[in-house]
């Protein structure tokens, strides 16, 4: 997939009289070069370290199979969303197994919120080098986009970046929202304790390819273990946590989140901002193949209901399902299913700290997002070829047979959880989303009832 970023200038951190000015170039979105914010940073060293960590994620391949070594892929510029009260910067690693987000809360900046929307921002090497030299005592202005950019930069060369992105990268950006919505808080520790553990990773042989390590609480601290214990959470390749090294010194507390199938997240709580990373169950498993969004794509409200919820998206930093339910006269379950479906289309993100969705629209072509999932394509083909039959259905239970490439499979769906007799399910169960046969029965049953 080819992506072209067009910037009328390069992002820069310039010295202006007795202060510095960080100007982030924007590209695309509702406008060709949107202008979101003009003001200053109140905690410049914290913000600069956080932006550098985010940029490091976007430029890093934490896992590199042999096929990729021969065709290295370029890094994608981060995505920024302005909701009128905070700036959210999102990035995805080149390998697709690490997602990062920086939230600059209202208390971290002082200035004028110009507009709302989502766009890419230019993160270039000279700007990153300048960010590393900022002191906490410096006066640092912040512009996200520049007002009148066409006039101010008339006649100057346009900077264009052409990036080749794998389709898996785009799928991963969508999948990670579904993963976060499933996560539950695990525990909270002091940032200094986590920093000590991460700093010691290089000196420990705590990880081997294909094996899981666990973060477990040890008194008021935390440590790595090969056993989960009673409170441990799985960490696939702990070395990915080293991305947090330079920002943990700005934090007092760190909160961990986890799913039951191996994915985990870390929230670094800083005075006026938050930094999140979400790790796939293993470094060799990018989020794109996890299939968490497949249920959301299938378990979708009717088109009319989905359109009503979508029409209410107005760049909210926190979407209230209760408010939407009352306003649209839809039950709360329908609202949650609609938000999940919109997340699978890149139209909302998920905030672990607030436990809620927020509105943003990824600046990529997501028109064919459903077609990016081979399991979903296969399921639709099975339904269209009359390869599905329902043998039993009652409240909370659907049973049936689905014709697969290696024979007929018995599929059972109970309270939203599916089981299948196919080889794929016996290997992965539901840890990587439903198999194509479970999806086919779900699609057939829904179409038959409508």
d(CA 202, CA 418): 41
On the question of pLDDT at 181 being above 50, the answer is: yes
d(CA 62, CA 52): 17
Confidence of residue 71 (pLDDT cuts 50, 70, 90): low
Domain check: are 227 and 277 in the same one? yes
Domain check: are 325 and 353 in the same one? yes
Strand partners, 402: 388, 409
Rounded alpha-carbon distances, angstroms, from residue 161 to 8, 122, 126, 154? 11, 9, 15, 19
pLDDT, residue 155, reads 47
Parallel/antiparallel/unpaired status of strands 140-144 and 19-24? parallel
Q: Which residue has the higher pLDDT, 51 or 2?
A: 51
Domain boundary at 112, 140, 166, which?
A: 166
What's the length of the chain?
Answer: 450
Q: What angle do CA 87, 241, 95 make, to 5 degrees?
A: 80
Cβ count within 10 A of residue 207: 18
Confidence of residue 70 (pLDDT cuts 50, 70, 90): very low
On the question of pLDDT at 23 being above 90, the answer is: yes
Q: Are 275 and 104 in contact (CB under 8 A)?
A: no
Domain boundary at 258, 286, 314, which?
A: 286
287-301 residue pLDDT tens: 765 566 676 667 677
On the question of pLDDT at 431 being above 80, the answer is: no
Q: Which residue has the higher pLDDT, 287 or 94?
A: 94
Domain check: are 176 and 308 in the same one? no
Write the burial class of residue 161 (CB in 10 Å: 0-12 exposed, 13-18 middle, 19+ buried). middle
Residue 366 domain-assigned (yes or no): no
Q: Which residue has the higher pLDDT, 199 or 11?
A: 11
Residue 364 domain-assigned (yes or no): no
The predicted model scores a pTM of: 0.85
Domain check: are 342 and 402 in the same one? no
pLDDT, residue 205, reads 55
On the question of pLDDT at 420 being above 90, the answer is: yes
Residue 144 domain-assigned (yes or no): yes
Confidence of residue 163 (pLDDT cuts 50, 70, 90): confident
Question: Residue by residue, what is the 3-state secondary structure of 55-78?
Answer: HHHHCCCCCCCHHHHHCCCCCCCC
pLDDT, residue 148, reads 59
On the question of pLDDT at 24 being above 90, the answer is: yes
Question: Which residues lie below 8 Å from residue 421, measured CB to CB, with a gap of 6+?
Answer: 409, 410, 411
d(CA 49, CA 287): 26
* Nearest C-alpha neighbor of 39 from the set 132, 144, 119: 144
Domain check: are 158 and 243 in the same one? no
Domain boundary at 286, 316, 349, which?
A: 286
266-295 residue pLDDT tens: 999 999 999 999 998 887 777 765 566 676
Domain check: are 299 and 253 in the same one? no
Average pLDDT over residues 162-171: 72
Domain check: are 197 and 254 in the same one? yes
Domain check: are 277 and 240 in the same one? yes
Residue 54 domain boundaries:
2-89+100-166
d(CA 171, CA 366): 9
Residue 416 domain-assigned (yes or no): yes
On the question of pLDDT at 210 being above 70, the answer is: no
Cβ count within 10 A of residue 209: 9
Residue 367 domain-assigned (yes or no): no
pLDDT, residue 296, reads 64
Percent of the residues in the chain that have a pLDDT greater than 70, as a whole number: 86
On the question of pLDDT at 413 being above 60, the answer is: yes
Residue 326 domain-assigned (yes or no): yes
pLDDT, residue 248, reads 96
Domain check: are 430 and 318 in the same one? no
On the question of pLDDT at 127 being above 90, the answer is: yes
Domain check: are 11 and 134 in the same one? yes
> End-to-end alpha-carbon separation of the chain, Å?
36
Min mean pLDDT across 63-77, 162-176, 413-427 is at 63-77
Residue 410 domain-assigned (yes or no): yes
Average pLDDT over residues 393-409: 88
Q: Are 156 and 9 in contact (CB under 8 A)?
A: yes
**CATH number of the domain bearing residue 346:** 1.10.10.10
d(CA 149, CA 208): 51
Confidence of residue 203 (pLDDT cuts 50, 70, 90): low
Q: How many domains does the chain have?
A: 4
**CATH number of the domain bearing residue 222:** 3.10.150
Average pLDDT over residues 192-198: 91
Domain check: are 56 and 21 in the same one? yes
* b (16+ CB within 10 A) / e for 42-77: bbbbbbbbbbbbbbbbbbbbbbeeeeeeeeebebbb
Average pLDDT along the chain:
85
Domain check: are 202 and 321 in the same one? no
On the question of pLDDT at 154 being above 50, the answer is: no
Q: Please report the beta strands in 168-320, taking only residues with DSSP state E, as ranges in sequence order.
A: 184-190, 213-218, 221-225, 233-235, 253-258, 264-269, 273-279
111-124 residue pLDDT tens: 999 999 999 999 99
Residue 408 domain-assigned (yes or no): yes
Average pLDDT over residues 127-144: 93
Confidence of residue 138 (pLDDT cuts 50, 70, 90): very high
- Which of 138-142, 233-237, 335-339, 411-415 has the highest mean predicted lDDT (pLDDT)? 138-142
On the question of pLDDT at 15 being above 80, the answer is: yes
Q: Please report the beta strands in 50-135, taking only residues with DSSP state E, as ranges in sequence order.
A: 79-82, 87-92, 98-104, 109-113, 117-121
Confidence of residue 239 (pLDDT cuts 50, 70, 90): confident
């Amino acid at each position: 997939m080819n992506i072209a970023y067009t910037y009328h200038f390069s992002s820069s951190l310039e010295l202006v009289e007795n202060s510095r000015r960080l100007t982030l170039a924007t590209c695309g979105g509702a406008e060709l070069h949107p202008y979101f914010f003009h003001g200053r940073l109140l905690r410049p060293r914290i913000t600069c370290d956080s932006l550098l960590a985010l940029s490091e994620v976007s430029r890093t391949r934490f896992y590199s199979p042999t096929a990729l070594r021969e065709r290295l892929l370029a890094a994608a510029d981060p995505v920024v969303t302005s909701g009128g009260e905070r700036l959210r910067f999102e990035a995805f690693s080149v390998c697709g197994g690490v997602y990062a987000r920086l939230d600059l809360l209202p208390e971290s900046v002082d200035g004028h919120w110009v507009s709302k929307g989502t766009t890419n921002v230019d993160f270039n090497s000279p700007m990153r080098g300048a960010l590393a030299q900022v002191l906490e005592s410096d006066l640092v202005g912040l512009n996200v986009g520049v007002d009148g950019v066409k006039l101010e930069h008339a006649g100057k060369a346009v900077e264009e970046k052409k990036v080749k992105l794998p389709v898996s990268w785009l799928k991963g950006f969508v999948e990670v929202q579904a993963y976060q919505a499933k996560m539950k808080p695990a525990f909270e520790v002091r940032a200094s304790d986590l920093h000590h553990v991460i700093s010691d990773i290089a000196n420990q042989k705590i990880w081997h390819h294909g094996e899981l390590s666990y973060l477990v609480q040890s008194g008021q601290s935390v440590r790595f273990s090969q056993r989960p214990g009673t409170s441990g959470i799985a960490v696939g390749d702990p070395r990915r946590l080293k991305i947090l090294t330079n920002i943990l010194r700005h934090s007092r507390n760190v909160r961990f989140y986890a799913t039951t199938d191996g994915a985990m997240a870390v929230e670094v709580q800083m005075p006026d901002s938050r930094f999140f990373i979400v790790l796939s169950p293993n470094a060799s498993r990018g989020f794109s193949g996890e299939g968490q969004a497949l249920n959301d794509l299938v378990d979708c409200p009717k088109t009319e209901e989905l359109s009503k919820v979508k029409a209410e998206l107005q760049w909210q930093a926190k979407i209230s399902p209760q408010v939407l339910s009352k306003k649209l006269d839809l039950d709360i379950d329908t609202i949650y299913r609609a938000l999940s479906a919109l997340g699978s289309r890149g139209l909302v993100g998920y905030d672990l700290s607030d436990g809620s969705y927020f509105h943003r629209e990824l600046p990529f072509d997501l028109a064919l997002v459903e077609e990016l999932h081979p399991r979903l394509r296969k399921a639709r083909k099975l339904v269209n070829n009359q390869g599905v039959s329902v043998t039993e259905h009652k409240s909370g239970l659907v049973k049936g047979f689905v014709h697969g490439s290696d024979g007929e499979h018995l599929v059972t769906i109970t309270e939203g959880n599916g089981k299948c007799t196919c080889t794929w399910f016996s290997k992965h169960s539901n840890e990587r989303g439903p198999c194509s046969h479970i999806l086919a029965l779900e699609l057939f049953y829904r179409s038959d009832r409508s």
